[in-house]
Structures are given as structure tokens and as C-alpha cells.
A = this chain, B = another copy of it.
Amino acid sequence: MLIPEPVQRLIDAFARLPGVGPKTAARLTFYLLRGGEDLALELANALQELKTNTATCPQCFNITSAGRSLCEVCAHPQRDPTLLCVVEEPLDVLALERTGGFQGLYHVLDGALNPIEGIGPDDLRIRELTARVQAGSVQEVILATNPSIEGDATAMYIQQQLAPFGVRLTRLARGLPAGGDLEYADQNTLLRALAGRQNLGD
């Protein structure tokens, strides 16, 4: 009653975003109310054009600009088509691209297996992945799903699906994060780091 309807409506919309509770939603809304009109309108326009001006790459299923036949990575002539990196989300592609250390192609699954939330193999782009590998040019598939229970389960499932094709299957290394502190590493990370210890001479 006390909050004007247009204000309450924006608070409700913000609160539907992940990690934004009702208090944060109210704070953002009142910031926009006090702040210049341009930010609210810039946000509104960017939101409206988000879906209309973007598309999904038909090969790797990453986000790309509308009107392209393939995304920039897939269309790049210098990328190595024999190396395929399987990730859960478009944001994972960004993180890997930022390292500058990967020159192959990607395959975005659009999530990970999660029986509790009802996400099965058919909800992910696993059939499309199998088809890409079956097509023949891929020699190594890096299963770069998250180091979580769901990510591990997804990697294991894909491993089984791709086993018949005789490609090399790898998983990102697990261990201590760079700049991390051994003292604060959790048990699982430390166990993985121990199990995966490397010879100093290598």
C-alpha cells in the first residue's frame, strides 16, 4: 500500500534475479529512482535488445550476435577443430577464453545433470555433442564441467557416451588454486592435490 505500484513492480522483478533478495531489490530500485533517468532507461533498452539481438551458435551452442551463421570461435580459421572443450555455460567459455590458453573449439551443454531438479541428459546438448564427435574430426574432448557433484556426474555420463568413438577424453586438473593457502584449502581439494601430485622434474 505504502509503496507506489510501479516501484513495487520493479522491486518484485529485481527480486526474481538469482542472488537478489527483497532488500537488495528495494535498494536497487530506490537507487534508480534517485539516480539519473538514463541508467533506468539504458537498462530497459539493453534488456529489451538482449534476446532479439542475440542467438545461439548452431555448432557449439554458445551465445552469439544475431545474424551470424556460426559464433566467433567456431568461425575462426585459426582455432583447432580437433580439440573440443565441453562446458556447462556460456560464462565458462568466457572464463576459458580470458586465460588465452585454449585454442580449440567449445561445446556448451546448457547446464549439468541434476536428478533432483529434474535435469536429465535430454535437457542438455549431449546428443549434439555425440553427433559432433561422431562426425570424425575431433581427437580430444576436454570435459570442463564444474568440479562439483553435478559436474562430475555429467562428465562421467558423457565419458560413457563418447567411449565408443575412441577419442581422447580428459578432465581439467584438480588441486590447489593459484594464490591459495594450503592452510585454508578444504579437505577434498587437499586430497585431490595429494592424489594428483606431480614430479618436480617434469
A32 touches B53 (CB 8 A): no
Across the interface, which residues of B come within 8 angstroms of A28, CB to CB?
17-18, 20
Residue with the highest number of chain B CB atoms closer than 10 Å, among A10, A31, A45, A46: A46
- Report if A91-B30 is in contact (Cβ < 8 Å); known contacts: A13-B42, A42-B13, A47-B10: yes
B44 & A47 in contact (Cβ 8 Å cutoff): yes
On chain A, which size bracket covers the interface? 35 or more
CA of A47 to CA of B41, assembled, Å? 7
Which A64-99 residues have C-beta < 8 A from chain B? 64-65, 72-73, 89-91, 93-94, 97
- A63 to B65 Cα, complex, angstroms: 39
Q: Are B4 and A46 interface neighbours, CB within 8 A?
A: no
B94 touches A3 (CB 8 A): yes
How far is the CB of A21 from the nearest CB of chain B, in Å? 12
* Contact residue among B34, B45, B54 (Cβ-Cβ distance under 8 Å from A4): B54
Report whether A40 and B51 are in contact in the complex, using a CB–CB cutoff of 8 Å: yes
Beyond A31-B18, A72-B1, is A37–B51 a contact (Cβ under 8 Å)?
A: yes
